[in-house]
Amino acid sequence: MRDEEGPLQIAPTLYAIIIFKLIKGVLACTLAVGLYFQPAEHLPAEYQNLLAAPKVQRVFLYLRIHPENKFFTRLAEQIGNLTDARLRAAAYGALLWSLFPLTEGIGLIFRVKWAGWLAIGESAFFVPVELYKLLEDFNWFMIGVTISNIVIVWYLYAFRERLFLHPQHKPLVQANAPPPASPRLGRDG
């Protein structure tokens, strides 16, 4: 049936998901490398410098994020309590986590089914967590993240048959074709 339809169709939404997954993976990997080579005692000062940077201030102003809200205050406290061992553990965790979106993105480029299911599972896994966080502390950023994950799960699941059949895949039995002859069993050979 698939051969009658021709090659896989262009899927702009899938390409946007691929780009999103790859960017997420590269950013997490970059964070992991940065954390690994960063001494823990310099982090509090660098965090304060980052928040005071003009570009960050403009982004916060545009997104209407107050840099002294509960999230950033807790983050500053956590950064102040970091040791080198905890920083290395965070770097390893970020590196391990970055492998998921990178693997998903690369698999989705090749449109293999396991990558589609991995992306569906990974995105769906975080929806309840994000909903819980929204109930705990409402903010528009989490609304956007939650909606994007729900859209990703819906799109990949709804169109999985059309999206995830590798273009080089050939069905074993074509439609309206007689079944292949079974090999003879016995001594006649």
Q: Residues 1-46: pLDDT tens digits? A: 444 455 567 889 999 999 999 999 999 999 999 999 988 888 888 8
Residue 149 lies in a domain: yes
The length of the chain in residues reads 189
Count other C-beta atoms under 10 Å from residue 155's C-beta.
19
Selection from 24, 29, 41, 26 nearest residue 87 by Cα? 41
Number of structural domains in the chain:
1
Residue 63 lies in a domain: yes
Model pTM above 0.75: no
Q: Residues 75-121: pLDDT tens digits? A: 888 888 889 999 999 999 999 999 999 999 999 999 999 999 999 99
Structural domain boundaries enclosing 90:
11-163
CA separation, residue 63 to residues 121, 139, 160 (Å): 30, 11, 34
